[in-house]
């Protein structure tokens, strides 16, 4: 009985080790995938930018803004909207067929604009979405930025496309920007990394990888030691088959013995009858 209990416990421990190994490997794969930074729902698929743009003190406002647009173009794998074959504009309501000027090759939308100009040109315009980069410290309500985003949001709703607004991870954003963009089906993406910032998801993923890696290593060592300690079963020694000649001789002896017993029995019967 103790022997069977011992075998059952060994089997249970082995099963637990195998389950732990499987779960640790699955955790490693999942969190390594998380570290690849391709797990977000915005058009880039990334949680944060592939590079760090210029920030305050590293250039003038135009250079800082351009660095954010360039990084976003690379992450979206899209051409800038200021390229000669792009130049897609949100035009004023008076421009349904004509173009405002040479800065626009195409009017994707014709709506009343809040600006005094005849057009606005978003950073990126595709058939699926409109995207704008704002590599700035803050976005406040009473600013030209809000009027600009409001015009883009109006065009996005008219086109049935989401508007995505990419800002720094620490940009202070007025909630009215958020409501405006979300209403189009898009959102504000805290995207551009800044000095000293670390992604919280990456930090948790690194901790999970370290823990699951340690658990996996320890369990594999236990599995190896367990296999080494198991004694191989001694195979049963098969019976040596009898030689055919010996088997035939035994059969002959048995037949002769049977004949002798039959002869003796017949002799006894004859003697009794006499």
Residues 75 and 166 in one domain: yes
Q: Say whether pLDDT at 236 is over 70.
A: no
Residues 154 and 47 in one domain: yes
Look at residue 24 and give its three-state secondary structure.
helix
- The Cα 209–Cα 212 span in angstroms is 5
Last residue of a domain, one of 144, 175, 198: 198
Classify residue 266: in a domain, yes or no: no
In this structure, what token pair is assigned to residue 196? 């000293």
Residues 192 and 86 in one domain: yes
Q: Which of 115, 180, 126 is nearest to 153 (CA)?
A: 180
- Read off the pLDDT of residues 31-85 as tens digits, 9 standing for 90 and up: 666 666 566 789 999 999 999 999 988 889 899 999 999 999 999 999 999 998 9
Classify residue 243: in a domain, yes or no: no
Q: What is the pLDDT of residue 87?
A: 93
**Domain of residue 191, residue span:** 43-198
Classify residue 174: in a domain, yes or no: yes
Residues 68 and 104 in one domain: yes
Residue 23 — pLDDT band, cuts 50, 70, 90?
A: confident
Residues 178 and 92 in one domain: yes
Picking from 82-96, 103-117, 215-229, 234-248, which range would have the lowest pLDDT averaged per residue? 234-248
- The Cα 92–Cα 79 span in angstroms is 24
Residue with the bigger pLDDT between 194 and 31: it is: 194
- Read off the pLDDT of residues 110-166 as tens digits, 9 standing for 90 and up: 888 877 778 899 999 999 999 999 999 999 998 899 999 999 999 999 999 999 999
Per the structure, how many domains does the chain have?
2
Classify residue 234: in a domain, yes or no: no
Q: Which of 120, 185, 131, 80 is nearest to 108 (CA)?
A: 120
Residues 60 and 155 in one domain: yes
Classify residue 22: in a domain, yes or no: yes
Average pLDDT over residues 263-270: 71
Q: What is the mean pLDDT of the chain?
A: 83
Residue with the bigger pLDDT between 36 and 251: it is: 251
Is 141:148 a contact under the CB 8 Å cutoff? no
Residues 69 and 175 in one domain: yes
In this structure, what token pair is assigned to residue 158? 């008219």
Q: What is the pLDDT of residue 167?
A: 97
Is 223:217 a contact under the CB 8 Å cutoff? no
Residues 74 and 170 in one domain: yes
Residues 132 and 73 in one domain: yes
Beta-bridged to residue 192, according to DSSP, are 168
Residues 179 and 214 in one domain: no
Residues 49 and 177 in one domain: yes
Is 110:143 a contact under the CB 8 Å cutoff? no
Classify residue 138: in a domain, yes or no: yes
Residues 117 and 184 in one domain: yes
Pairing of strands 119-120, 88-91: antiparallel
Beta-bridged to residue 173, according to DSSP, are 139
- Read off the pLDDT of residues 11-20 as tens digits, 9 standing for 90 and up: 787 788 778 8
> Residues near 215 by Cβ (< 8 Å), separated by ≥ 6?
20, 24
Burial class (CB in 10 A: 0-12, 13-18, 19+), 43: buried
- The Cα 65–Cα 136 span in angstroms is 8
């Amino acid at each position: 009985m103790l022997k069977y209990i011992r075998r059952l416990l060994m089997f249970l421990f082995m099963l637990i080790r195998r389950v732990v190994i499987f779960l640790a490997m699955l955790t490693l794969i999942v969190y390594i995938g998380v570290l690849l930074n391709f797990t977000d729902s915005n058009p880039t698929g990334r949680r944060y930018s592939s590079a760090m743009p210029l920030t305050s003190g590293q250039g003038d406002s135009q250079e800082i803004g351009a660095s954010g647009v360039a990084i976003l173009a690379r992450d979206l794998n899209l051409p800038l909207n200021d390229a000669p074959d792009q130049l897609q504009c949100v035009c004023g309501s008076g421009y349904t067929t004509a173009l405002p000027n040479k800065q626009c090759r195409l009017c994707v939308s014709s709506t009343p604009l809040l600006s005094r100009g005849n057009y606005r040109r978003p950073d990126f315009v595709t058939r699926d979405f409109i995207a704008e980069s704002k590599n700035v410290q803050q976005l406040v309500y009473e600013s030209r930025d809000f009027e600009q985003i409001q015009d883009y949001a109006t065009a996005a709703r008219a086109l049935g496309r989401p508007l995505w607004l990419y800002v720094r991870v620490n940009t202070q954003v007025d909630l009215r920007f958020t409501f405006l963009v979300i209403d189009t089906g898009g959102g504000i993406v805290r995207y551009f990394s800044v000095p000293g910032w670390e992604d919280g998801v990456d930090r948790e993923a690194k901790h999970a990888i370290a823990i699951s890696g340690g658990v996996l290593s320890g369990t594999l060592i236990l599995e190896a030691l367990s296999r080494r300690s198991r004694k191989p079963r001694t195979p049963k020694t098969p019976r040596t088959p009898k030689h055919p000649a010996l088997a035939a001789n035994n059969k002959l002896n048995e037949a002769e013995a049977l004949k002798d017993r039959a002869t003796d029995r017949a002799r006894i019967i004859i003697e009794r009858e006499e």
